[in-house]
Amino acid sequence: MAVIVDRDDDGERLVRELQRLRCDVQHEWPMPSQIPAQYDVVFCVLSPDLPQRLPWIPGEPASALVVIDPGAGLLDLNLLHNCAAHGVLHYPATARSVQSTLALARGHFLYERRLRGRIEKLDESLRTMRSVERAKSLLMRLKNVSEEEAYNYLRRQAMERRVTIGAVASAIIDSYELLG
């Protein structure tokens, strides 16, 4: 766990509370030019340039991000939105607020990661379906067969070669485009 806060009383209290929760805490200050991504959770003070310091693309975080609001002035909700934080911890932090923010942020991060994985699988399935449909239409036109026969041909080729139907479909499309 990375904690990127000033070593004042509030920062020390946060580090001690995380250590009490048996977290392996790495404290960094001053704030690095790029927020480290190798941690499970990053606690970082909210600063105007925080979105530019994040090493990941918004929507694809490498770590759960908890931003810390030092409580000085109004909270910039637009800045908070641009950081795509999984949690917000307001100073002065209490044991309960640290524990609940940590649990919710980590849970939200893991849920998001599972959803991104499902989306990637669905995108791949959609690409495969499009390839299979295009290969079927090529086979129907070139071999003068029905849609069912074209699909059975793709399936049979995939089984014989022990590859997916999508791989066979892609090979047929690629060879057709190559031969023109």
Compute CA distances 61 → 41, 48, 58, 93, 122, whole Å.
11, 19, 7, 24, 20
* Residues 89, 12 share a domain: yes
- 0.95 exceeded by pTM: no
Give residue 143's domain range: 121-179
* Residues 58, 9 share a domain: yes
Q: What band does 16 get if pLDDT is binned at 50, 70 and 90?
A: very high
22 occurs within a structural domain: yes
Q: What band does 94 get if pLDDT is binned at 50, 70 and 90?
A: very high
Helices (H), 21-164: 50-53, 77-83, 95-143, 147-161
Q: How many Å apart are CA 113 and CA 118, to the nearest integer?
A: 9
* Residues 127, 59 share a domain: no
100 occurs within a structural domain: no
Mean pLDDT of the chain: 93
112 occurs within a structural domain: no
Indicate if the pLDDT at residue 54 is higher than 80. yes
Indicate if the pLDDT at residue 63 is higher than 90. yes
Mean pLDDT, residues 100-126: 95
Indicate if the pLDDT at residue 74 is higher than 90. no
Asked if residues 32 and 53 have their Cβ atoms less than 8 Å apart, the reply is: yes
* Residues 151, 76 share a domain: no
Q: What is the pLDDT of residue 32?
A: 94
For residue 52, give the CATH number of its domain: 3.40.50.2300
> How many domains in the chain?
2
Q: What is the pLDDT of residue 72?
A: 81
* Residues 139, 71 share a domain: no
134 occurs within a structural domain: yes
Q: What band does 71 get if pLDDT is binned at 50, 70 and 90?
A: confident
